[in-house]
């Protein structure tokens, strides 16, 4: 019996790096992969072995109750149901669709696994994410000439001569290292290469845009988006996706400091202080039992239930389902776009922006007040798990006031710009390549966004001194001073043109 | 027996989310609250159920030894001693004092629980905190016309016309979302509202300034301050209050980057790396056994003992008990104010500032050199738990040198300002509404403070490149350049006046 | 038996604060130290008691297999082998070499323990570290007149008079509180002091430069470097040294934001989210089993093995062994210096810089292309534990492209400076004391470095908006505007000279 107890103990202790089922059936194809790759890429294999994918078959997964289930396809193809999800299952799926499929030890293998592949077991999640603006992050930037020109003005190579700078466009590597790191690259097959390996000479495809883990990656099967941006390879840990650190990969910089604001909020403090005790693995996720303050996933993504089993929020991978506003200023905060493809938006002046420079929203492309109210209610339901209606209403009122006042600041900064453009003190060929224009961008992209995310999450100082109102106010005054300087630099000179 | 062992195991494993006493007596009033609220606000109820409040009665708490005791009133009123501290105990306490008391299912309930309520069991802590400058954070800002004008210059709405900006004062919501988020709002009852609920139509008070968790909140019973700023509702976790993340809620921004400096200090590193092994729940808190490097609470608040049981430091909620200096520049660092109410301070020029613009301290309002030495010794005793006298003396000498040199930098920045004000190049109607003035503010509020907190906690780079001496030195030079620009913008023009 | 199980349980539970061997032999000398110091400095003693040093003798350590062994001297002097490593073992070692040795209770004790002392058991590590550029961090700054003049321009005391600022050099305390906090002070004995203690009057040495934990500290025995910078006293926890927080002590600021870039990388995210489950204590450190993403130590320092026991990387304390490039711009990124002593470097213009102002590397002092390739391969081997050759090649190509483009930005910024210097618009007596010069410094020291560390570790936004390309591009344009302003401020004036 003593032995029995020790075994019990050991199994309890190993729960954190658990293998969910000891008798899991690994397919012969995957066993073949592991045969070589446990020595060629041992970290990946070890990581996968500790994953849920490695220890539960789709057949077992389908036995779970509706709320517990993590797979959303009740009709998973027969050939997959009785094996755990291993190397071969994913990297040999849909070979004909993948331009990066290559012959590898007599098998058709592709390098990059895509949402289309994941959809075999998780079609609902893929469909939702496909309707999520993040899945289009690459093309929404690349295909929008205004945003693209901003990217070029940041990433290009500047030269100095004759007391001025000129800029040439960035190369593909720089773009992939910069904006498209988060927004996603386009993966393309550029040929093949032969390489000596531990197992003799082998041929591999050469990919451009690789490596990349951006949320809006364009894949070799034509799909847009990437599950492993958040559900990191090859552990696919739910814990990881539910922790705020994952979101910080892309949402910590001055342009979108959501993680920073969260980290100084009461929610973030409780997560940092007590999160070590929480259960990040359970599905569904029980409020109060599994966690006692939200991470990003709680408010924006996860299926939430009460200890009584009541559903508080449905799981969604269209992450704006609970968001009436898009608080990312472009240049003004605005109601969320209807379509994930924002490159189709035109404001009243014909520019591909969700608001006019006057602040007027491009309403026909944005959700209606009714849809906003619906989303406000969805989020309110989540808030009310811990807060009273009074409390939540007060927070909404304050937050929406801040959307308004921060937009007013952007209006003022834009009025300064319009003066500069109209008087030709600043050239309006590109909106982003003069110092004054960059000051203007900081008003809405840094200080406006920071003030709004701080308001949304009660991350106080990010709305005050840390990239918030202090800098917004000061920056606007500096813009005026700068405008005066431009004027004085060439008082009698003809209007500046580039 | 096997079962017995398993039970033992399970209870050991659940220690982290423990319910301290299974037979805890919940009052009938609290049971009634829970009856509805476990479905109406399940997160709060679940959180509370895992709290110490939910599992130990005051009677049991009073049996602890002096050092172990967390309640400081030996005479807790009889009606409270034999029930755990639940919803009703706090939200129905002192109903006549609370302007937000309302009829709720035939009970007098108030929305906001205040330090006066907490003082029923914790009077010493409340008294100490009442003498802590943080408890007056709202009024020390709101009632000080100099500081208030700075807040208005940050939070107001700017407009641009005729090549200059004007600013109108912020509305109440903006103030609550900005400075008063940390400093505290004033909670006032503005009427009542009827609302449909799961239990029929009910009437609730409408509060202004709500929600808020600021440290100097003015409450509906007239009290100032808030315990739940740090002892977050409704778990009231000691772990949370003792971890540095709680302090980061208000002390991470560029104006007071204490958390940042701590996080790169040796202390902060040890906390981040090994803190997961520490015991944050014990009272008293044992140096070396429960933790092996300080968090904020260790140096500034907690009751500390050695493994031999010797008391190294007494608990204090007047958090400057161990601090000779107030290193927050206003504009200069200075000996700590005597009274928590700093709105009474006048410098030699009659301004409500703890130092004159020349740097001279308003000594009659500040602690004496003797009191400074007393506090220096109190802190030294804490340091010497791990460091030699030599070590600690060296650190004090270096820190106080940095107070001096950073004040010198502020003197230089102020000399530039005085030149600008005297020559009318900058209007001195408000001290904070011109670009040059804002540059001046950054000298002491950002760079001076950062350099000093970095010195105090050995958070190196926050005194060098990260908001420290690098920016202070550069900023002062930029102020001079800016002054020259102002001069050149209107060389023959009459003095600028707004 | 039940008791037996409980004991088993308890011992399992206390593993985190384990004492490795209960029968560890503490030397009589150390016992004497502990006799007083457990009450005089209880934190240190408690910390040490929980260390590996306190519970394993060198004799036991030497029985470990080659890969498991943490001591690198097979011939540890006999007098040390059978006692655990306690106070006396370190603080009484090599007394004649230490200028801070003093008589303390009839023993020769020295305050500061140095790498030479550690080398008794860990000679390989000390030797490697001695060849590591970090061990020379103090003198590489102090003895380099260019870098020293930058330090003085940051740390000195500025005064304002006659519309300009002057600066006087910093005092020793300021230097120790600023740059040399990380780079290391020089510890010198300045006399002795008598002090009343709990055990009567005692005499102690007075040290200058103390306290300090800088990586290039100059010690009282003439050695350079410091083990306890990372292996913090007195726990000497391997866990701590292997976590990224230790590195953040010096590598988080805007000048070298490696920790920041890591924290938003996929690696940093996995560490933050799942690191709580990892085993940071094992030697050797097993990829996939002990951890599933790298910390700084994984890529740069640690001995790594696979689950099969294959060695992936050898332990090194010369932390550039796996680094072809030094991406810290001075002002340009360049191949790593050959010698840890960089004060000997002269560029083609005779300046003590690893590159000329034109960008040309001082090649004779830098590693060759062959050595670069060797180091690239060493690092690649580590990467390939989890990534394919394709993946790793893509990352190298992108990273080296970014080294190139960020250097191009520095070239442009430098061209602007050269114009300013040549036309005497800015005085070139010091390279760092004018506003324009400080803008130039930010180009390479802040934005160039940030962009490169972000590229190296895939910490996206630190190469875009957060101190990256956005600020680089904007700053260069601001430099041009500033240059124009200088020109307009004194169009007819003679060239500016200081």
Instruction: Give residue A488's pLDDT band: very low, low, confident or very high (50, 70, 90).
Output: low
Contacting chains of A (3 CB pairs or more, <8 Å) are B, C
Tokens of B188: 């006032």
CB contact under 8 A, B177 and A488: no
Residue A460's pLDDT is 83
Which run of H or of E encompasses A326? strand A325-326
Q: Which residues of A touch B488 (CB under 8 A)?
A: 488
Tokens of A83: 């094996």
Minimum-distance CB partner of C181 among B307, B458, B478: B458
CA of C300, closest CA in chain A: separation in Å?
17
Question: Which of B11, B16, B288, B451 would best serve as a mutation to test chain C binding (most C beta carbons within 10 A)?
Answer: B288
How many interchain CB pairs under 8 A, B with C?
A: 199
Closest residue on chain C to B10 (Cα): C9
CB contact under 8 A, B160 and A465: no
DSSP string over A164-230 = EEEEEPPPHHHHHHTHHHHH--B-EEEEEEEEEETTEEEEEEEEES-S---TTPBPTTS-B--GGGT
Minimum-distance CB partner of C390 among A163, A210, A489: A210
Question: Which of A48, A211, A271 would best serve as a mutation to test chain C binding (most C beta carbons within 10 A)?
Answer: A211
Which run of H or of E encompasses A285? strand A285-286
CA of C467, closest CA in chain A: separation in Å?
9
CB contact under 8 A, B240 and A388: no
Nearest residue to B443 (alpha-carbon basis) of B484, B477, B487: B477
Q: Which residues of B touch A292 (CB under 8 A)?
A: 43, 46-47, 50, 235
Q: Do residues A481 and A459 make contact, with C-beta atoms less than 8 angstroms apart?
A: no
Q: Which residues of A touch C4 (CB under 8 A)?
A: 2
CA of B151, closest CA in chain C: separation in Å?
27
Establish whether this prediction's ipTM goes over 0.90.
Answer: yes
For residues A473 and A467, give the distance between their C-alpha atoms in angstroms, rounded to a whole number: 11
CB contact under 8 A, C254 and B466: yes
CB contact under 8 A, B111 and A390: yes
Q: Which residues of B touch A289 (CB under 8 A)?
A: 46
Closest residue on chain B to A417 (Cα): B160
Closest residue on chain B to C491 (Cα): B488
Q: Do residues C182 and B461 make contact, with C-beta atoms less than 8 angstroms apart?
A: yes
Arithmetic mean of pLDDT, A237-241: 97
Percentage with pLDDT > 70 across chain C: 93
Q: Do residues C112 and C187 make contact, with C-beta atoms less than 8 angstroms apart?
A: yes
For residues C129 and A173, give the distance between their C-alpha atoms in angstroms, rounded to a whole number: 35
The CA-CA-CA angle for residues C325, C453, B442, to 5°, reads 130
Mean pLDDT by 10 residues, chain B (498 residues): 41 36 79 95 96 97 97 96 98 97 96 98 98 98 97 98 96 98 98 94 97 98 98 96 97 97 98 97 97 97 96 97 97 98 97 98 98 98 96 98 98 97 90 96 98 96 97 98 78 42
Tell whether omega for the bond before A331 is within 30 degrees of 0, i.e. cis: yes
Question: Which of B178, B201, B276 would best serve as a mutation to test chain A binding (most A beta carbons within 10 A)?
Answer: B178
Residue C428's pLDDT is 81
Q: Which residues of B touch A480 (CB under 8 A)?
A: 160, 163-165
CB contact under 8 A, A211 and C485: no
Question: Which of B176, B203, B211 would best serve as a mutation to test chain A binding (most A beta carbons within 10 A)?
Answer: B211
Minimum-distance CB partner of C435 among B397, B464, B478: B478
CB contact under 8 A, B266 and C111: no
For residues C150 and B140, give the distance between their C-alpha atoms in angstroms, rounded to a whole number: 40
Question: Which of A50, A177, A236, A445 would best serve as a mutation to test chain C binding (most C beta carbons within 10 A)?
Answer: A177
Beta bridge partners of C326: C334
- To the nearest 10 degrees (0 to 180), the angle between helices B42-49 and B28-40 is 130
Residue A145's pLDDT is 97
Residue C18's pLDDT is 37
CA of A177, closest CA in chain C: separation in Å?
6
Q: Which residues of A touch C416 (CB under 8 A)?
A: 160
CB contact under 8 A, C8 and A6: yes
Residue B2's pLDDT is 46
Task: Give pLDDT < 50 ranges for chain C.
Answer: 1-22, 491-498
Closest residue on chain C to B265 (Cα): C249
Contacting chains of C (3 CB pairs or more, <8 Å) are A, B
CA of B315, closest CA in chain C: separation in Å?
18
- Residue with token string 């519970």: C55
How many interchain CB pairs under 8 A, A with C?
A: 199
Q: Which residues of A touch B446 (CB under 8 A)?
A: 465
CB contact under 8 A, A253 and C462: yes
CB contact under 8 A, C388 and A237: no
Minimum-distance CB partner of A460 among B182, B206, B243: B182
Q: Which residues of B touch A394 (CB under 8 A)?
A: 207, 210-211
Contacting chains of B (3 CB pairs or more, <8 Å) are A, C
Residue A307 Cα distances to A274, A378, B45, angstroms: 19, 19, 10
Minimum-distance CB partner of C401 among A6, A174, A253: A174
Minimum-distance CB partner of A178 among C1, C464, C481: C464
Q: Do residues B324 and C83 make contact, with C-beta atoms less than 8 angstroms apart?
A: no
CB contact under 8 A, A473 and B167: yes
Encode pLDDT of A242-291 as tens digits: 999 999 999 999 999 999 999 999 999 999 999 999 999 999 999 999 99
Length of chain A (residues): 498
Closest residue on chain B to A8 (Cα): B6
The CA-CA-CA angle for residues A46, A49, A52, to 5°, reads 140
């Amino acid at each position: 019996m003593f032995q029995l107890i020790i075994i019990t103990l050991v199994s309890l202790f190993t729960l954190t790096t658990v293998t969910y089922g000891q008798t899991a059936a690994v397919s012969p194809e995957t066993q073949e992969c592991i045969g070589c790759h446990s020595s060629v890429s041992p970290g990946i294999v070890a990581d996968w072995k500790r994953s849920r994918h490695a220890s539960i078959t789709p057949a077992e997964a389908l036995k779970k109750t509706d709320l517990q289930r993590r797979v959303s396809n009740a009709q998973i193809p027969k050939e997959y149901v009785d094996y755990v999800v291993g190397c071969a299952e994913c990297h040999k799926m849909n070979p004909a669709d993948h331009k990066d499929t290559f012959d590898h030890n007599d098998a058709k293998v592709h390098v990059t696994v895509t949402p289309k592949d994941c959809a075999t077991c998780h079609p609902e999640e893929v469909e939702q994410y496909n309707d999520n603006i993040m899945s289009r992050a690459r093309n929404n930037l690349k295909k929008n000439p205004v945003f693209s020109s901003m990217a070029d003005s940041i990433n290009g190579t500047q030269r100095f001569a004759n007391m001025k700078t000129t800029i040439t466009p960035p190369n593909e590597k720089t773009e992939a290292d910069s904006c498209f790191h988060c927004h996603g690259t386009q993966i393309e097959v550029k040929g093949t290469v032969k390489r000596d390996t531990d197992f003799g000479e082998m041929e591999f495809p050469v990919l451009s845009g690789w490596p990349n883990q951006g949320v809006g990656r364009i894949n070799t099967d034509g799909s847009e988006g990437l599950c492993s941006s958040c559900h990191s390879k090859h552990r696919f840990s739910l814990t990881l996706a539910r922790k705020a650190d994952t979101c910080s990969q892309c949402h910590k910089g001055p342009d979108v400091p959501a993680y920073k604001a969260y980290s100084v909020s009461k929610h973030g403090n409780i997560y940092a202080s007590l999160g070590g005790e929480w259960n990040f693995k359970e599905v569904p996720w029980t409020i109060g039992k599994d966690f006692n303050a939200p991470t990003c996933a709680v408010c924006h993504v996860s299926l939430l239930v009460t200890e009584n089993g009541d559903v508080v929020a449905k799981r969604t991978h269209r992450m704006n389902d609970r968001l009436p506003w898009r608080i990312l200023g472009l240049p003004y905060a605005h109601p969320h776009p209807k379509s994930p493809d924002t490159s189709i938006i035109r404001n009243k002046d014909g520019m591909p922006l969700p608001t006019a420079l006057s602040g007027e929203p491009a309403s026909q492309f944005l959700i209606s007040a009714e849809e906003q109210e619906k989303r406000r209610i969805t989020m309110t339901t989540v808030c009310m798990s811990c807060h009273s209606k009074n409390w939540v209403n007060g927070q909404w009122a304050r937050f929406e006031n801040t959307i308004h006042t921060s937009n007013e600041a952007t209006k003022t900064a834009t009025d300064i710009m319009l003066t500069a453009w109209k008087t030709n003190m600043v050239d309006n060929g590109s909106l982003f390549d003069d110092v004054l224009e960059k000051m203007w961008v900081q008003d809405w992209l840094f200080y406006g966004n920071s003030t709004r995310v701080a308001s949304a999450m009660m991350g106080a100082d990010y709305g005050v001194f840390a990239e918030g109102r202090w800098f917004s106010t000061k920056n606007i005054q500096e813009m005026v001073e700068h405008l005066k300087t431009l004027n004085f630099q060439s008082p009698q000179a003809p209007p500046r043109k580039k």
